[in-house]
Structure 1
């Protein structure tokens, strides 16, 4: 069996050699293999035909994979798994981690059924020195989202075990706990599990036909067992919505609250579709829509909502009106069908008009059957075309029940649980829970998160005390996505903002929550972003690229450490209206009645910031009050900001630990009058529009990419928020570029970056060194 021609290569995925002998020059991205055409067309032989005459090599026999899968993993959470993987050796794991060797020398044989399966679940290496490790983990983690589920109760440790193949070290700059469950896995089928184990593997139909019975079973289980968070919620907003009658193929008006309609979410691509009005009969539609009509019939439902047909694309007013109803449309759907893998409206739904799906792995060893579990839904969302489009984000997030159809398998994700074709949830403890099972006083969905994980996009919104986190996490996920038209940056997020108004009753201004406007201004870019014109520099919508949201140490206590900030914004009334205000010596001013982050406030003695906030602004700078019409602010997107500013030149030349890398929190120490202070930065937008000139002398300064002769520039640091931690007061600063026009003499500022200044609490008076001063300026 061990002949050279039967070797399989992890680098090129060809045969006849291993990685050390491979002539292919470039390494492939680590996680791309599971979604590659090579994996889809991989010759599986008896693995796919299901013959019992399996051939197993001596190496695979010695691995005792059945024993590994029948044992319980020694870790109870993804963090414990990460700790075990990060150790130099695997001795402390009681043999639960098996090493196959280095990628440059490991052997997989094409004529061994088990080798082919292990080869097919192993990610692409990035060097010959990585180690290939096999390890077990709980199958519940496959449907629990990126952070997995904790096996912190006896019933949770009765789940089946799946086999993962990971590379150490990984080439992906993400936590090991996140990377470990991306890609494929192997598991014993449910029928081969002992009576004490559950959530085993399930064989997917070999011809990959859509199983409507399984789908209806998931929906029925959700309807019978879960609370109102999973139930469709019809509202009066739907009265102006149009649907497709799948029987008559006619565009009709929403028939009423008893209507159970299916919503469709898909990627349009560069497909020009016919325009329809109320009463029109449909011509032949693109394949994805035709498949959705057929699937709606198969689910026993009469109506389908698809944006390209149910919104009059030729009427801008109708489009705007329907976009404002997106939350209501998806929230009321019986189920939302998501074409996860399609690249355009012509792609069709997998398993309907697209039979070219990924084959499920299968092998027999010791009389038992192993099947592959396919990539997780979370991973699918990250890499598929649907998961990269901005408009589709709110469609998946706002729907109480989502059915994701991919080229690998079908996934069901509601507000309380996740299911997939390759895992048999019929005896699963978590999938059988009901509100009556909840022994706590908290909401059912909140409690379910700890039992079965957070799923793909679902995060409960029933915690007003954590509203800043809810907004920020949604914004973080949305920021990774792209859109065809830059002007849609906030519009494509509008449905999410509408949903969040249940915990942010004062609403949003340019995408930022008014009650937490200070922390919302402190968003941070993960990579150097691209400017979006038409939006202010201070709003996240003005920049394209993934970002983090600004947050205090405790998101439940957003304003325990006092600062001073007054912000007014231009409204269509023609006046500047106060948006947000907080004082050093008082409770939150404008939004105190809505604030959930109060509690006991930290009293800072000898505080130069409080002293500066009591200053009286000169007449020419006071502007006549918060509602005064400042000439430069009389346009949407400009803010009139009164704050305390510090004169500070950040020095990023000498990091405390390691060289700064994009998206990585870095700390830079410095001394003022023998007092140790720190600067911390995570954002990479400090590179826009210039760079820090680290010449190595005391003249370190910001160098703009260009400087207009008509303008004079000044760089200052605006104090936005403060927090405290371990004896330090953290000053969250926005570096702004002040420009004074030679013609008008008026100052207008633009955001450059945000960073933190840490000063010891006992030496807070050292802030006098930075000359804090109260001033007003226009932020554009």
Structure 2
């Protein structure tokens, strides 16, 4: 790791030494061609009395970085970390190493400066040549009114900075954040937040120990805060089973937020996610990010003979794009009949995603990384699922080697090389059942939820593709009543009172009826490779178990 020495005459770039206190900068690079952006590396000059070169910033650097240097010195710090100059942009190996350590870099900074401008030449308002927008005021008789200016939270949300994928992890992992909006400076840390335009007695609104704000004060933009269900969470230390559930929820929420953002280079989709993947792999929930999809390991420690179906791979694969659902009418010939032969109720049908997701080539279709667009939020939980995939799941990688999925559970903790390797996963190979499409029209109490990545379609077209085997519904698992043995295992590890345990379990109750979850895949019979086309959920309200839909032989 390298840092910029802000007090040196030429702004030298030197090796970071343990114990050095530094400031980090988070900003929008902007499109190629902006002044200063084309210089991928800092200039080099001979070191006096040595053959080793010393790196220093070029003469012309973007205004935002120059302003950040001034802010760093004003805050009485010497060193500044800026990705553009502190990471060798021509060294791919170094880039990969640094990408996965972004979380540590920003978490290790004394404070992070956040520039909300549209590009690296926008500057920091109020520091040098970039002006602030004026504060509005008016008079009415003998009264004078002044504006408290826009809410900094809204200024952050509406900024270009908030649309970029790279900046998400920078805001997430920083422990102290100083935002330069067009109107004012806004600060937040993991305990409090305050705006320059609003003066308050910070001692009063802190709790007695001073560790954080009182619950009635709103949470920060990036800190979970007292008003958030994850605020109490220290995911790196807490080993309680119910806390692992919180960790999974938190990870899923952050992936959802990440997939809303944009990238200049589409190939960076997992590079900009690497720090998040590393962070959650190190938690006690041991969430593996296989090509980006978060696969939590079993939450509860059950006896070996009760562990069937708890691998959670099925759960992780059943992600969907964000959609606008609506109830559509089926043509007469597709109206399902009840088991008695009488006309049944119509199926609810969600025939398309809006907008239509586009494929991101070079990444597997079974991962959200293989698509442009936001993921759908999840309300169900892993232990409500039973996986129907066999234990012979194999993960394939671009260089041709493969890894047995079950072997991942043998690692007491994830090594750095393994985290990077799993992000590069290319294929999954497993045995699974295929849904018989003829049975979709036979049960009147079912409801179909279809989320097609391939875009708008109709029931007739989907049915035709299923019966012709152009599409197949690969059964991932079932979604049903939470298993009591898992509840008992969670409660056994919970040190809270009996009443608190019951309230915590109540939060885990599922809200949806029993369902079968299937991946809709398009099969290339020449290459024998299936590509994800969408997700199908077949839901039932009659509460009857037993046979629901016929499954074909394993495929």
Q: TM-score, normalised by structure 2?
A: 0.70
What number of residue pairs does the alignment pair up?
A: 436
Task: Pick closer, same or farther for the CA change 1:640–1:483 going to 2, 3 Å.
Answer: same
| Worse-matched range after superposition: 530-539 or 268-277 | 268-277
Q: Quick one: distance in 1 between partners of 2:91 and 2:145?
A: 54
Could you say which residue in structure 2 is the equivalent of 1:108? none
- Native 8 Å contact 2:356 2:456 kept in 1: no
Residues 1:680 and 2:445 are matched in the alignment = no
Summarize the alignment of residues 11-90 of structure 1 with structure 2, pairs less than 5 Å apart: none
Residues 1:433 and 2:433 are matched in the alignment = no
Could you say which residue in structure 1 is the equivalent of 2:529? 748
Q: Quick one: distance in 2 between partners of 1:716 and 1:700?
A: 11
Could you say which residue in structure 2 is the equivalent of 1:297? 73
Runs of 4+ aligned structure 1 residues displaced above 6 Å come to 591-594
Task: Pick closer, same or farther for the CA change 1:565–1:251 going to 2, 3 Å.
Answer: farther
If you compute each CA radius of gyration, which structure gives the higher value, 1 or 2? 1
Q: Secondary structure at the match of 2:383?
A: coil
Could you say which residue in structure 1 is the equivalent of 2:541? 760
**Cα displacement (A) at 1:261:** 1.0
Q: Secondary structure at the match of 2:470?
A: strand
Could you say which residue in structure 1 is the equivalent of 2:403? 577
Q: Quick one: distance in 2 between partners of 1:241 and 1:326?
A: 13
Q: Quick one: distance in 2 between partners of 1:501 and 1:428?
A: 37
RMSD: 3.3
Residues 1:723 and 2:485 are matched in the alignment = no
Cα deviations by residue, 1:75-107 (Å, 9 ceiling, x for unpaired): xxxxxxxxxxxxxxxxxxxxxxxxxxxxxxxxx
**Cα displacement (A) at 1:546:** 1.6
Stretches of structure 1 that go unaligned for 5 or more consecutive residues are: 1-239, 438-443, 582-588, 595-634, 652-669, 705-710
- Native 8 Å contact 1:691 1:702 kept in 2: no
Could you say which residue in structure 2 is the equivalent of 1:520? 316
Summarize the alignment of residues 203-602 of structure 1 with structure 2, pairs less than 5 Å apart: 240-269=1-30, 270=32, 271=34, 272-274=37-39, 275-276=41-42, 279-282=54-57, 283-340=59-116, 342-364=117-139, 369-427=144-202, 429-430=204-205, 432-433=206-207, 436=209, 450-459=215-224, 460=231, 461-462=233-234, 463-503=243-283, 504-505=285-286, 507-515=288-296, 516-526=312-322, 527-552=355-380, 555=381, 558-566=382-390, 567-571=393-397, 574-579=400-405
Task: Pick closer, same or farther for the CA change 1:266–1:722 going to 2, 3 Å.
Answer: same
Task: Pick closer, same or farther for the CA change 1:318–1:647 going to 2, 3 Å.
Answer: same
Q: 1:772 aligns with which of 544, 551, 554?
A: 551
Cα deviations by residue, 1:537-561 (Å, 9 ceiling, x for unpaired): 0001001112224441xx4xx2244
Task: Pick closer, same or farther for the CA change 1:255–1:638 going to 2, 3 Å.
Answer: closer
Task: Pick closer, same or farther for the CA change 1:593–1:717 going to 2, 3 Å.
Answer: same
Q: Quick one: distance in 2 between partners of 1:307 and 1:561?
A: 42
Q: Secondary structure at the match of 1:692?
A: coil
Greater relative contact order (Cα 8 A, min sep 6): structure 1 or 2? 2
Q: Quick one: distance in 2 between partners of 1:383 and 1:529?
A: 23
Q: Quick one: distance in 1 between partners of 2:144 and 2:449?
A: 53
Q: Quick one: distance in 2 between partners of 1:772 and 1:429?
A: 64
Q: Quick one: distance in 1 between partners of 2:71 and 2:437?
A: 62
Q: Secondary structure at the match of 1:423?
A: coil
Cα deviations by residue, 1:676-725 (Å, 9 ceiling, x for unpaired): 222235x4xx1x43542356xxx863569xxxxxx972332423451345
| Worse-matched range after superposition: 274-283 or 411-420 | 274-283
Q: 1:692 aligns with which of 432, 457, 471?
A: 457
Q: Quick one: distance in 2 between partners of 1:498 and 1:350?
A: 34
Could you say which residue in structure 2 is the equivalent of 1:733? 518
Q: Secondary structure at the match of 1:645?
A: strand
Could you say which residue in structure 1 is the equivalent of 2:228? none
- Native 8 Å contact 1:390 1:478 kept in 2: yes
- Native 8 Å contact 2:471 2:520 kept in 1: no
Task: Pick closer, same or farther for the CA change 1:284–1:561 going to 2, 3 Å.
Answer: closer
Could you say which residue in structure 1 is the equivalent of 2:435? 646
Q: TM-score, normalised by structure 1?
A: 0.51
